[in-house]
Amino acid sequence: MKTVYSLLACYFLLTSNQQEGLRLTTYNLPLTTHSTAMSQTKEIHYLALGDSYTIGESVARQQTFPFLLAAELNAKNKLEVKPTVIARTGWTTGELQSAVDEAQPSAAYDLVTLLIGVNNQYRGMSLKQYEREFTVLLEQAIVFAKSKKENVIVISIPDYGCTPYGAGSKERIGREIDDFNRVNKRVASKKGIHYVDITPISRQASQKSGLVAEDGLHPSAEMYRLWVELLLPEVQHILVK
């Protein structure tokens, strides 16, 4: 069974240039605010930047954290949030950068999230390179958020060492993920960016199999819901004024 997990996981982590099409999904937003006699709905432009954890490998689109977050905000805060997602399984910081350069997002987003780095760790790339490339991505994220740093959230990298795929190297993977998260947290802190640490939730997967998707590697819809519980207060603070 572990062999099956390994084959599947290697495919998911390393096929950033082999999947059909660019996994860049844009959901265009109207530019007006709808109002009725009873309520007013505020439309929100949300850009989610990342890799498989953002696109939600192995779960349905509506079960990914950007869409779960949007659904919570729509239901609780009279908002109309439709995410734009620039993410693909296997992407490193450099590959996300290339995709951002190609997509050329506008500087008109009300919220931007950035979650990237697991594939840098998986491929053995250096922390120095990660810090350099992550810093550039974060600076661009601020620009995309109307140059308002307070409208950007950095999300920590999950620890896949607590999944069936990573169990054989759990301690090493955990240490390395911590190293990469120290980098992204430090960069976020220097720039005054919100930081949401979902890594402890990902580590619950070693005891709760329901937090892992059927591929034995990526988060399940249940784990993504737990992420959204952490993200929601931060996002509401940004958007609900």
**192-238 pLDDT, tens digit each:** 999 999 999 999 999 999 999 999 999 999 999 999 999 999 999 99
Question: Which residues on adjacent β-strands are paired with residue 40?
Answer: 35
**144-202 pLDDT, tens digit each:** 999 999 999 999 999 999 999 999 999 999 999 999 999 999 999 999 999 999 999 99
Please give the Cα distance from 47 to 66 (Å, whole number).
9
Q: Tally the C-alpha atoms within 13 A of residue 208's C-alpha that lie toward its C-beta.
A: 13
pTM for the whole structure: 0.87
The residue range of the domain holding 43 is: 2-239
- DSSP labels for the chain? -HHHHHHHHHHHHH-TTTSSS--EE-----SS-EE-SS-EEEEEEEEEEESHHHHTTTS-GGGSHHHHHHHHHHHHSSEEEEEEEEE-TT--HHHHHHHHHHH---S--SEEEEE--HHHHHTT--HHHHHHHHHHHHHHHHHHTTT-GGGEEEEPPP-GGGSTTTGGGHHHHHHHHHHHHHHHHHHHHHTT-EEE--HHHHHGGGT-GGGB-TTSSSBPHHHHHHHHHHHHHHHHHHH--
**CATH number for 196:** 3.40.50.1110
- How many domains are there within the chain? 1
Both structure tokens of 131: 């810090």
Residue-level pLDDT at 41: 85
**101-154 pLDDT, tens digit each:** 999 999 999 999 999 999 999 999 999 999 999 999 999 999 999 999 999 999
Please give the Cα distance from 53 to 68 (Å, whole number).
13
For residue 14, pLDDT over 50 is answered with: no
